Amino acid sequence: MKTALLALAALAFLGQPALAADPLAGIWRTQPGRDGGFGHVEILPCGGGLCGTVVRTFDAQGQAVQAGDLGAAILADVVATGGGSYGKGRIINPETGRSYTARLTLRGDLLDVGGCIMMICRNAGTWQRVQ
pTM for this predicted structure? 0.80
Query: Is the sign of the CA dihedral 60, 78, 83, 122 positive or negative?
Result: negative
First to last CA, the chain: 40
Task: Quote the CA–CA distance of 32 and 35 in Å, as a whole number.
Answer: 7
Mean pLDDT, consecutive 10-residue stretches, the chain (131 aa), reads 33 36 93 92 95 96 92 95 94 88 95 90 92 89
